[in-house]
Structure 1
Amino acid sequence: MDYKNFVDSFKRVACVISVDLKGEKGDDYRYLIVDANEAYKRTVVKDIADFKTGVPYTRYIMKTANFENLCDTCVTSNVPIHTYFDIELYNAWMEVFLMPLESGDPDMGMLLFSYEMNPKADIDKLADISSETATNVIKTCLKLRETSDFRESMKSVIKDIRLQCGSARCSVLLTDYEKREYSLLCEDYDPDDPSQVPLEEFLTEDFYRVIETWPRLINKSNCFIISNEKDMENASKIAPEWIESLRFAGVKSIVIYPLRSDNKTIGYIWAGNFPVDKTLMIKETLGLTSFILSAEVANDQNVRKMKIMSSTDLLTGVYNRNAMNNRISDDDSGKKVIAKPFGVFFIDVNGLKTINDTRGHEAGDNLLKDVASTLKELKGRNVEVYRVGGDEFLIIATKTNPAEFLKMEDILRKNSERPNRAHYAVGACHSEEAEDIRKAMQKADARMYEVKEEYYSRHPEYEWHNKPV
């Protein structure tokens, strides 16, 4: 059948693609370009005289499992497909049209492929979705505003998405490719399915190696999908460990979308074991939802970073004075009471002024960082470490009985004058002596100065900065 006049009648970029329904020609020759208009040819070759027909589409554009899945769906369902998505390969938004055509051969499907690309998302095109998807996405947006706790909201959202998709599991995983870290934001799975277990059971230290394969599976497209055994086998060539774990978990179908912000992948959302006949609806739902969630996740991460920066001493990495003031204020108001029994340590760095004056402030900074490193070794014991002044640190140890507190004090004192390490003075007070946190801090501070005075009497070579009169 001659499609030349038909495809030439299109002003937009367009080509006709054949699909070998039996798959007898092999994967490389299953999808062939039958004909194309001049607009399409100019997008893939410099000289249109070099354009060839009857060749695999991969001669001109990159092989993409998602595109092939769309072609299969179009010719087998005999339904036109319109989709709009962010494609990382071109750093642009692509509007795609697929239209089934008459082929005259029962073993061969034919379709028209046409597209437009723009550097920024068109909100009107994003909103051009089915009424069912629109309702679902609106519900998602509303759920995100139900509470000020973003992570709690996401638990409700991910459950809704799973039910909308009819999948056995839906999860959101956050990633940081620079730090090579990942974390589970939220998940929901069918409680009546005995094969479904918490994802944490699979999130081992080695799981990051699996995550590193996902960009290759998505391959600069907008998503990756497994809907049958053949897809599973193809994916196994790139991510054998992941596919093995999916088989072990009884996963037979999965669709995964990257969450992207500022041209960086910040996480993934996926649905597993979904009804394959609802693939297009699920892709539409997850596609738009991932666009919204990307912005929400990025915003939550930025807010968290700002909170960390506002409460963290940038030099030493411990809490700063602002965080201490908020902690004491929360205890006073009852918002976050300091759990009893508790203990307080005041720590002051010895010799800092002399080091700054004789070796420079970089050497002084190293002294402060060394002390902070020593104090942070007490972590894991309900310990909060604050830098409350230039050379002063505070430790609040909650839920700590007197015996535990004495052990901690002994460790701090033994480490206070180690050779070739920073020296410091320690003052301590347990809640047995002063139940009020402010009074405990005052007593610990006074005791710290007694220890400090004794230290400087033994080390006259150091100048005591801010010595009490």
Structure 2
Amino acid sequence: MNYGPVVEHMKKIASVLSVKINSDGSCGDICLEAANDLYLKSVNVSREDFRPGKPYTNYIPKDLNFEAMSYRCVLEQRMIHSYVNAEFYNAWMELYLMPMDSEDVDKKYFMFSYDMSPKVDANVLADISPDIASRVIRTTLKLRETDDFKKSIRGIMDDIRADCEANRGCILLTDFKARTCSVLCDSLSPDEHTPDMASYIDEGGYLRNPAEDHSMEDDNSDIAFFDIVETWADLIAGSNCYIVHDADELEKMKDISPIWYTSLKYAGVYNLVIYPLKANGETIGYIWVTNFNSDNTLNIKAILEVTSFILAAEISNYQLFRKLKILSDTDLLTGLLNRNAMNNRIADIVSGDSPFNGEYGVAFVDLNGLKAVNDKEGHIAGDNLLKAAASVLRDTFMENEIYRVGGDEFLVLVVGKTEQDFNNLVDDLRDVCEKSDTVKVAVGSYFGNSNVDIREAMHIADERMYKDKEEYYKKYPELKYRNSK
């Protein structure tokens, strides 16, 4: 049948494509059979260069997501509508795939049309069924239920997994500059017994086999999981998602991402839908579900399209807030908490927002001889001495709060230890610094309970530190003052 006249009368971008039906009922090559001038212009092909019946990849890059939609359209004889962020065109595309009648036994046909816009159209994105809209509203409300962002995200992922009737749902955060990734949340169905996602990535970010029998097909101990993550862009291929509907489609992944293919096969995955989370033009993570109800693929895709759009913005804001919080609370030279963080911590204790419920110890630590080092060797040497002191404090008071509160002054707050444990830590610090050739400190400490005002405890510790410092300078008076150059 000549489909040329059909598309030529369309006032929108339009084309007709064929899907080869193999003898076993599976789908094969997708070819472009007819196209109107608007379509050819959109793919930058002249009418003279257009040859009907050639693979669609002669005109646009291969797109696995588009192929999956094409197969579903002709096999299920249903119209497919989707709104995607198409990186290849640097635009958002509203896609329409409509099955057509055909007398061919070994081919099925569909009409393909789309609209493009450079920016997302909120009205189109929001044009979803009432059922999906209610789920999206639920997602938005859950983000506001609690100040605990990670708890909210876990609850949302549980809902998404349940809505998709999937065995697993996961959000993975990515940093392409640092080439790292981390699991934000992982939701498993109650009857799922495979390990959680974090079990597949070791502390160094490398792929590992979580099973005791180490029965994965290959030894992947030297493969960084981020190397797998980098292949996902090729699978998504400039579209907005990647869908594996069944085991046959999973096999097509093998050539593009063989290590991930092996990992998925090991985990018993037979279908998958994955969406990138994009914010400010960058991919900040991925959201996916596995072993979902494939009879409901279109609704699942619609759920993830909208929720991924919302979650990407929320996660980006959360990451920005954390970065700003870290910058405002961190001493940039030593990496310790700064005076601003200490003031906020003390204010929360005094106000009752974050009270002590038991005993605690506080220690003021002052670095001796910094002025002399600055004078004799310069401020770079002085900075290095401060960083060395910070390192000693971190090694001694591991997992406790350490603040740089002044030029050469530090505060240590120890909670949940006995008085003997606290005094042992202080003594360890004195011993290390006594043996050190560079880091010499004066220390004043106080141990009390929640009945003692933290400000009073700090005052006592500070006075004791100055007495200790006076004793040090009596012993080494040449270090007390700046030496003339």
Q: Distance in 1 between matches of 2:81 and 2:45?
A: 28
Retained in 2: the 8 A contact 1:216–1:238?
yes
1:257 is paired with a residue whose SS is: strand
Give the equivalent residue in structure 2 for 1:444.
Answer: 461
* 1:292 equivalenced with 2:310 (yes/no): yes
* 1:82 equivalenced with 2:100 (yes/no): no
* 1:312 equivalenced with 2:310 (yes/no): no
Tell me the TM-score normalised to structure 1 length.
0.91
Retained in 2: the 8 A contact 1:339–1:399?
no
Shift of 1:239: 2.5
Q: Distance in 2 between matches of 1:68 and 1:23?
A: 19
Q: Distance in 2 between matches of 1:373 and 1:136?
A: 49
Seen in structure 2, the aligned counterparts of structure 1 residues 238 and 23 have a Cα distance that, compared at 3 Å, is farther
Which amino acid in 2 is paired with 1:126? L
Seen in structure 2, the aligned counterparts of structure 1 residues 269 and 151 have a Cα distance that, compared at 3 Å, is same
* 1:389 equivalenced with 2:406 (yes/no): yes
Which amino acid in 2 is paired with 1:315? L
Give the equivalent residue in structure 1 for 2:122.
Answer: 123
Retained in 2: the 8 A contact 1:190–1:196?
no
Retained in 1: the 8 A contact 2:350–2:453?
no
Give the equivalent residue in structure 1 for 2:112.
Answer: 113
Seen in structure 2, the aligned counterparts of structure 1 residues 86 and 397 have a Cα distance that, compared at 3 Å, is same
Q: Distance in 1 between matches of 2:150 and 2:283?
A: 19
Which amino acid in 1 is paired with 2:365? I
| Structure 1 residues not aligned, in runs of 5+ | none
Seen in structure 2, the aligned counterparts of structure 1 residues 49 and 13 have a Cα distance that, compared at 3 Å, is same
Shift of 1:253: 1.2
Retained in 2: the 8 A contact 1:171–1:270?
yes
Shift of 1:232: 1.2
* 1:413 equivalenced with 2:409 (yes/no): no
Q: Distance in 1 between matches of 2:104 and 2:266?
A: 40
* 1:49 equivalenced with 2:48 (yes/no): yes
The superposition leaves residues 84-130 of structure 1 with CA deviations (integer Å, 9 ceiling, x where unpaired) of 12123333211111111222113211111222222210111111222
Give the fraction of aligned pairs with identical amino acids, expressed as a percent.
45
Which amino acid in 1 is paired with 2:447? H
* 1:39 equivalenced with 2:38 (yes/no): yes
Tell me the TM-score normalised to structure 2 length.
0.88
Give the equivalent residue in structure 1 for 2:20.
Answer: 20
Which amino acid in 2 is paired with 1:403? Q
| Structure 2 residues not aligned, in runs of 5+ | 208-224
* 1:293-442 matched pairs, under 5 angstroms: 293-338=311-356, 340-378=358-396, 380=398, 382-416=399-433, 421-431=438-448, 435-442=452-459
1:316 is paired with a residue whose SS is: coil
Shift of 1:163: 2.0
Within the candidate set 262, 266, 269, 1:251 is matched to: 269
Shift of 1:295: 0.8
Give the equivalent residue in structure 2 for 1:58.
Answer: 57
Give the equivalent residue in structure 1 for 2:140.
Answer: 141
Q: Distance in 2 between matches of 1:23 and 1:298?
A: 48
Shift of 1:385: 0.5
Give the equivalent residue in structure 2 for 1:216.
Answer: 234
Q: Distance in 1 between matches of 2:251 and 2:428?
A: 57
Q: Distance in 2 between matches of 1:436 and 1:399?
A: 17
With 344-353 and 332-341 compared, the bigger mean Cα shift is at: 332-341
Q: Distance in 1 between matches of 2:434 and 2:70?
A: 72
Seen in structure 2, the aligned counterparts of structure 1 residues 39 and 327 have a Cα distance that, compared at 3 Å, is same
1:377 is paired with a residue whose SS is: helix
With 162-171 and 290-299 compared, the bigger mean Cα shift is at: 162-171
Seen in structure 2, the aligned counterparts of structure 1 residues 235 and 261 have a Cα distance that, compared at 3 Å, is same
Within the candidate set 241, 246, 263, 2:259 is matched to: 241
Give aligned pairs, total: 462
Which amino acid in 2 is paired with 1:415? V
Which amino acid in 2 is paired with 1:114? S
